[in-house]
Amino acid sequence: MNIFVGNLPHASSEEDLRKEFEAFGVVSKVSILKDKFTGAPRGFGFVEMSSKEEAEAAMNALNGKDFMGRPLSVNEARPKEESSNRGGGRSSGGSGGGWNRDRNDRGGSSSGRRDRY
| Mean pLDDT of the 91-101 span | 51
Side by side, which strands form the sheet with 41-49?
A: 27-34, 41-49, 2-6, 73-76
Q: What are the sequence ranges of the domains in the chain?
A: 2-76
Q: Tell whether domain 2-76 is in CATH 3.30.70.330.
A: yes
Task: State residue 8's pLDDT score.
Answer: 97
CA dihedral 87, 91, 95, 97 (to 10 degrees): 20
Q: pTM of the predicted model, to two decimals?
A: 0.68
The 10s digit of each residue's pLDDT in 10-31 is 999 999 999 999 999 999 999 9
- Residue 65: what residue type? K
Among 1-5, 34-38, 96-100, where is mean pLDDT lowest? Answer: 96-100
What's residue 115's pLDDT?
56
Mean pLDDT of 71-78: 96
| Pair 41, 10: CB distance under 8 Å | yes
Residues sharing a CB contact under 8 Å with residue 57, sequence separation 6 or more, in sequence order: 24, 25
pLDDT given at position 51: 95
